[in-house]
Amino acid sequence: MIPPDAPGRERGPRSGTLEPSLAQRSVGSVRVRSLVEDSIVSSHPDNLALIDWQAGQPVSRRFGDVYFARDSGIEEARHVFLGGNALRRRWTALEPGDRFVIGETGFGTGLNFACAWQLWDAVAPRAARLSFVSVERFPLPAADIGRTLGLWPELARYRDALLDQWGELAPGWHRLSFGGGRVILTLVVGDVRDALPRVDGAFDAWFLDGFSPARNPEMWESDVLVEVARLSRRGATCATYTVAGEVRRGLEAAGFAVSKTTGFGRKREMLRGELTGPRATRWRAPWFAPPVPAADRRAVVVGAGLAGTATAASLAARGWSVDLVDRHATIAAEASGNPQGMLYARLSPHATALSELVGSGLQYTCRSLPTLALEPGNDFEQCGVLQLAYDDDEARGHAQLAALGWPGTLLSPLDRAEASARAAIELPVGGLMFPRAGWVHPPAVCRALAKHSAIRLVLSREAVQLRRAADGWVVSDGTEDIAAAPVVVIAAAGASAAFAETNHLPLRLIRGQLSFVPATPASRALRTVLCGEGYAAPAQHGQHSVGATHRFRDTSTALTAAEHRENLAKLARLAPALYAAVGGDRLDPAQLPGRAALRCSAPDYLPIIGPVVDAAAFAIAYGPLARDATLELEASSPWLDGLYVNTAHGSRGLVTAPLSGEMLAAYLEGEPAPLPRTVMEAAHPSRFLLRYLIRRRSPRPR
C-alpha cells in the first residue's frame, strides 16, 4: 500500500460501542419494521469502482490509493494476509471435514481471495472447506478483475473461475461456490458499516484491507473493528498492512492482542492480532440464535422437489450423506414438475427481506444453472425475462427500480421499441429486462441437484411420522421405518405441516394451472420470457408455457377449461401479437393441454427455512413477550434437535429454492449464511410462533 498511514482521524458519528437499542429493535415482529428501514445501496455509477491503470496496476480514482503494493501485490498478499494469519501452518493442521472461515474488509480485485484459495488448494485436506466472506462497497467491473489477476499467470485458474461467476455485481449478498463447494465466497456488496452488523458466524481469521486509513477512514472505524471481534472465535486472528495508531487501538479495544511484525516491501511494519480478551457482545434474540450445528453429517430430506433437492445438494457438497425421500416414483412430481418455470423476481425498490431474498436468489440461480449438469436450450435458456409495465402502478414501480441504477447485467429499463426488438415480437409496452434470467425445466434442475454419490434416492415412500431415537430421528410411513439420521429436513411443500412436530406452521396451498399453447412459425420468433399479470415462455418442444392461475381453497389438480381461458386472456393482454401468432381466438380451452399443481406459501409470502422448535415449550419460554415485546429474554430456544424445515416457496421456487439449500446448510454446518441475519430471521420457522405470542393469539394459527 502507498503510505501514509496517517494518525487517527476525528471519531465520526458512527463511532462508539453498539447501543442496546439495536438489539431491542430485533425483538419479534418489530424486526420486520427495522428491515424496511434499511436502505438499499444503489449501484448507480457512483457506487462502482473507478479504476485508473498506472504502470499496469489498478489505482482507485475515488480513494487515490493502490489496491496492493506496487512492488508485488501477490507477495504482499502472501506476506501480510496469509502469513499474518499463519494460514499455511493452521491449514496444514486441519482434519478432513473441518471448516475454516475468513472475513475480509475490502474484496477489491480479489487478489487476497485468489491467493488464499491457491494456498488452500495446496495445503488443506481435500475434504476441508473454506468459507470466505468479504465486504466490498465499490465492486470492480469484471474486466478490471480479469486484468488485475492476469498480472500473475499462476492465478489464472482462480481468476477464470471467479470471472465465470462474477458478472457485474449488484448491491446485496452474493453466494459463489467453487470446486463443488470446497471454497465458498459470500460477497456482500455494500458499506462495511452496514454489512458487518448483519453478518453471523464464527470467523477464524480476518484480512483487514481497506485503503489507507487516512484516505478510507470508514473502513477502520472502531465500530467496524468491534464487529470484527464480535464475529470472531476466541483465538481468531487478524492481519493488516497498516500500523496506524487508531487501527491498533481500535483492535485492542475490541479484544484483540495486537503486535507489530515485519511489514512487506517498503513498509517496515504491519499489525497482526489475536482475539484473546473479552470482546464486545450484543444481546441476541435467543429464539433466532442458531442451534448448535450437527456433528454427524447424515440427514434425511423429505420431499424431492426444488427445495428438497437443493437442500440435499448443498449438504452433499459439504460432505453429508443424504437419504432423499419422496412419495412419488420420480422426483419433481408435484409443483416442481412443470415443463417450464420462469426466473421471475419482482424486486422492490425497498430493502425488504423478501426483496433481498429474491434479489440474491435470482442471481444465485442464474449463476448456478451453467454449473449444473444441464443441457442449455433443452433444460434451461438464459434468454432474458422481460417484466412488462402493463399498468401505471407497474410502470411507476419499474421507474423507481430503474432509478436505483442496478447494473445492466441484473436489469435494465427498455422502452416499447427496445423491448419489442429484444423479444422479437411486437409488444404493447416496455418494461424491465433481466438479461441473465430466462426459463428452466424444473425437473431437470431437481435431477441435476440430486445427482451426487452421497445422495440416495428413496422413492415411492410417504413419510407420515417422525420418531425420536437415541441418535436422531426415524422417519416412518406409519407402518415401516423409511430412513433414519441425526438430522431430518422436511421439504414436503404443503405436507410439511402434516407432522405432529410441525403442525404449527401456517402453510396454505394455492392451486395453479399452466396452459401449453402449440407454437406456430410466427410464435417461434419469441426470444425472451414475457411476464406481467401472467407469463409466456419461448417455445420448448413445440409449445409455449403460458400461465399461471392462482386458486385459493382448491386443492384439485385436474385441468379446467375456465383456467385455460383465464391464461389465454392474460396472454392476450400481455402480448397481443403473440396471442395472435398462436391463433389465440381459435384455440379451444377445453382441448388445451396443461398442468395443474399446488404451490405452498406462508401468510407473509416468505419461505420457511430453518430449525424447528417444540411449539408448546416455545410459548412457555417466551410467554413474557406477550406482555412486553421488547424484553431481552435469555432462555434458549426449545429446538427439536436435528429437525429442520424448508418450504413455502410459493410461486417463485426457482428463485428461492436453490439458495434455500445454502441457507439450511449454514444452520447445519454453523457456517456464515448466504444472506443477512435479518433475512434469515425473516424466513425463520419460529417467526409465526413469535408473532402469535406477541399479538396474544393462539400458537395454532390454522
Ligand X SMILES: Cc1cc2nc3c(=O)[nH]c(=O)nc-3n(C[C@H](O)[C@H](O)[C@H](O)COP(=O)(O)OP(=O)(O)OC[C@H]3O[C@@H](n4cnc5c(N)ncnc54)[C@H](O)[C@@H]3O)c2cc1C
Q: Which residues are 511's β-sheet partners? A: 551, 598
Residues whose CB is less than 8 angstroms from the CB of residue 620 and which lie 6 or more positions away in sequence, other chains included: none
**Closer of 77 and 124 to ligand SAM (Cβ):** 77
Residue pair 250/225 in contact (Cβ under 8 Å)? The answer is yes
Q: Which residue, 205 or 342, is less far from ligand X as judged by CB? A: 342
d(CA 86, CA 272): 10
**How far apart are CB 64 and ligand SAM at their closest, in Å?**
12
Residue 426: phi and psi, rounded to 5, are: -65, 130
Residues 154/157/159/163 CA torsion (nearest 10 deg):
170
Residue 178 binds which one of ligand X, ligand SAM, none, with CB within 5 to 8 A depending on kind? none
Q: Which does 218 bind (CB under 5 to 8 A by kind): ligand X, ligand SAM, none?
A: ligand SAM
Q: Quote the least distance from Cβ 357 to ligand SAM, whole Å.
A: 22
CA 91 vs CA 100, 133, 670: distances in Å: 8, 17, 19
**Residue 111 C-beta: closest distance to ligand SAM, Å:** 4
The nearer residue to ligand X, 2 or 457, going by C-beta atoms, is 457
Residues that bind ligand X (CB under 6 A): 302-308, 325-328, 333-336, 338, 341-342, 344, 462-463, 491-493, 495, 512-514, 547-548, 597, 599, 647, 649-655, 657
Residue type, 679: V
Backbone angles phi, psi at 158, to 5 degrees: -75, -40
Which one, 215 or 573, has the nearer CB to ligand SAM?
215
Cα first-last separation, the chain = 60
Residue 511, number of CB atoms within 10 A of its CB: 21
Smallest gap from residue 490 Cβ to ligand X (A)? 8
103 binds, among ligand SAM, ligand X, none (CB under 5 to 8 A by kind): none
CB 1 to ligand SAM: min, Å:
7
**Cβ-based neighbours of 23, under 8 Å, separated by 6 or more:** 282, 283, 284, 285, 632
**Residue 192 vs 450, nearer CB to ligand SAM:** 192
Residues that bind ligand SAM in the complex, under the rule CB under 6 A: 49, 67-68, 106-112, 135-138, 191-192, 209-211, 216, 218-219
308 binds, options ligand SAM, ligand X, none, Cβ within 5 to 8 A by partner type: ligand X
Output 215 or 527, the one with its CB closest to ligand SAM.
215
In three-state secondary structure terms, 666 is helix
Query: Which listed option, ligand X, ligand SAM, none, makes contact with residue 108 (CB within 5 to 8 Å by class)?
Result: ligand SAM
| Residue 573 CB burial class (10 angstroms; 0-12, 13-18, ≥19) | middle
DSSP string, 280-323: ------TTTSPPPPPSS-EEEEE--SHHHHHHHHHHHTTT-EEE
**Strand pairing class (298-302; 439-440):** unpaired
Which of ligand SAM, ligand X, none interacts with 597 (beta carbon under 5 to 8 A by kind)? ligand X
- Taking CB within 5 to 8 Å according to partner kind, which of ligand X, ligand SAM, none is near residue 589? none
Cβ distance to ligand X smaller for residue 247 or 578: 578
Taking the least distance from each CB to ligand SAM, the nearer of 223 and 566 is 223
Residues facing residue 272 across a β-bridge = 239, 259
Cα–Cα distance for residue pair 535/355, rounded to 1 Å = 20
464, 468, 469, 475 alpha-carbon torsion, rounded to 10°: 20
Give me the least distance between CB of 338 and ligand SAM, in Å please.
Answer: 41
567 binds, among ligand X, ligand SAM, none (CB under 5 to 8 A by kind): none
Rounded to a whole number of angstroms, the minimum distance from the CB of residue 654 to ligand X is 3
| 120 or 644: CB nearest ligand SAM | 120
Which residue lies nearer to ligand X by CB, 442 or 486? Answer: 442
Phi and psi, residue 39, nearest 5°: -105, 145
**Least distance in Å: CB of 143 to ligand X?**
32
Q: How far is the CB of 133 from ligand SAM (least distance, A)?
A: 12
Characterize the bridge pairing of strands 481-485 and 183-189: unpaired
- CB of 531 vs ligand X, minimal distance in Å: 8
**Residue 49 touches which of ligand X, ligand SAM, none (CB < 5 to 8 A by kind)?**
ligand SAM
> Measured from the CB of residue 306, what is the shortest distance to ligand X in angstroms?
4
Strand order in the sheet with 439-440: 341-342, 439-440, 380-381
Instruction: Dump the DSSP string for 507-519.
Output: -EEEEEEEEEEEP
Are the C-beta atoms of 610 and 663 separated by less than 8 Å? yes
Closer Cβ to ligand X, 87 or 530, answer by number: 530
109 binds, options ligand SAM, ligand X, none, Cβ within 5 to 8 A by partner type: ligand SAM
3-state secondary structure 397-464: HHHHHHHCCCCCCCCEEECHHHHHHHHCCCCCCCEEEECCCCEECHHHHHHHHHCCCCEEEECCCCCC
Least distance between ligand X and beta carbon 552 (Å): 13
Q: Of 217 and 308, which CB lies nearer to ligand SAM in the complex structure?
A: 217
Q: Which does 135 bind (CB under 5 to 8 A by kind): ligand X, ligand SAM, none?
A: ligand SAM
Q: Which does 333 bind (CB under 5 to 8 A by kind): ligand X, ligand SAM, none?
A: ligand X
